Amino acid sequence: MAKVVTQSRAETEAFASEYAKTLRAGDVVLLDGEMGAGKTVFSKGVAKGLGIEEEVTSPTYAYMNDYDGRLFHYDCYRIESVEQAEQLGLADYFDMGGICLIEWSQNIAPLLPKNVKRVVIRKRNENEREIEY
Ligand SMILES: Nc1ncnc2c1ncn2[C@@H]1O[C@H](COP(=O)(O)OP(=O)(O)O)[C@@H](O)[C@H]1O
Ligand SMILES: [Mg+2]
């Protein structure tokens, strides 16, 4: 995996916008990292890089936000069981041709497709993040 270090939220967003250009329709990207690492910031950057103008907000309560079928942004932090995720149909979007970005994917691990990409964000200090991709 490659690694980059960012010194601000803006740098992470800018890097994510560039990273977005390496993504293909149907890609499923697992965004790993602790609370406050910058997974949602990264997602905002990806959306910008894809030319999505709608503002990306954290889908903490909705579990998944759909941006025109082009980007599906998940936050599975509050998912209580794989059964719940299945009932919500969260796996239905993996092969709909959009790009899936998934925060807290460990909570839906059995539902994930075999081929995924992974981005790991580590908090080094207040404003510094190490991003492995
Ligand atoms: N280098 C950085 N990259 C990303 N976010 C950063 C950075 N430095 C500070 N931050 C702050 O960290 C927080 C990350 O929040 P968020 O993206 O919601 O985290 P997560 O979704 O991983 O829980 C934001 O408040 C952001 O301003
Ligand atoms: Mg988040």
pLDDT at residue 61 tops 80: no
Token pair 């697992």 is found at: 30
Is the CB of residue 65 below 6 angstroms from any atom belonging to ligand 1? no
Binned at pLDDT 50, 70 and 90, residue 62 comes out as confident
**Angstrom distance (rounded) from CA 58 to CA 65:** 8
Query: What is the CA(13)–ligand 1 centre distance, in A?
Result: 10
Between helix 39-49 and helix 9-20 the angle, nearest 10°, is 50
Pick the atom of ligand 1 nearest to 7's CA: 1
Decide if 41 contacts 131 (C-beta within 8 A).
no
Mutate to test the pocket of ligand 1, among 41, 75, 101 (most ligand atoms within 8 A of CB): 41
Q: What is this structure's pTM?
A: 0.97
Q: 3-132 — its CATH code?
A: 3.40.50.300
Token pair 């690492």 is found at: 37
- Domain ranges within the chain, ordered by starting residue: 3-132
**Angstrom distance (rounded) from CA 97 to CA 91:** 13
